[in-house]
A = this chain, B = another copy of it.
Amino acid sequence: MISIDNRPIGIFDSGLGGLTVLKTLSEIYPDEHFIYIGDIARLPYGNKSPETVRKYGEQILNYLIKFNVKLAIIACNTASSVFIDETTFNGLPLFNVITPGAQAAFETSKTKRIGVIGTRTTIQGHSYKNTLLKLSPDLFVIEKACPLFVPLAEEGWLHGDVPEMVAESYLKGLRNESVDTLILGCTHYPILDQVIAQVMGPDVNLIESGKVLARILKSHLSDSSKQQGTIKILATDMTQQFQMMAELILGKDKIFNLELINL
């Protein structure tokens, strides 16, 4: 007798970057149901105090619990750093993007030279670097904030001269330091993965939150019914830009429901 757990998986982010995590998970687990919450009305979290981000995160987690989710994923770096030491919330299994990203980089790197890129807030908070150095104090970790990557991704400028030159400018220092592993420490960055890979070269492994989480979740997911999974996207504000980006990130063929909610 196989136990079947058809409860949905909850994912949240302050905005739409976490949709890259949703995309990867829904591709690897096509028969799972997903509920995504984007806190568009209150983004960005990066410039808010940890107390405020915790309050918002708890509101969203409590909202997800009403949907009877079996686990929740914090697909937002700022909120992940606030909940980094917690593996459950009110009994609900809780996953952040930092801990498994750092763990995967540590396991992947042969030279123990690791790069981390993210928003200015993420890099200044050193959350990946601190987590990596807890795993092994001998690691060489170099961090670089790449503030233009998010607007480039949101403009859909993924190829060509501008993204290549911006990526070259941000990443050449990390390439020169011969890192063999690069953590994409912002959930927007997988949208730009091709240009990032091109600039870093074929020998550098890119660590993406979505792929890492997919591996980790394997042991947490029992067999689900072999029916088609569903995707529900809830947002605290609805903009044309959000709808356009949801289609760009998830792909036009992905079917999802988009709803406005009040937290």
Binding site for B on A (CB under 8 A): 40-41, 43, 47-48, 120, 124, 147-148, 150-152, 154-155, 157, 161-162, 165-166, 169, 237, 239-241
Contact = CB atoms under 8 A, between A and B. Distances in A.
When all copies of this chain in the complex are counted, the total is 2
A32 B102 CA distance: 53
A48 B40 CA distance: 9
Contact of A41 (B48, B147, B165, B237): B48
B40 A124 contact: no
A148 B152 CA distance: 7
A52 to B, nearest CB: 9
Contacts of A161: 165
Contacts of A152: 148
Contact of A47 (B40, B48, B120, B124): B40
Nearest to A166: B162
A47 B239 CA distance: 9
Contacts of A124: 240
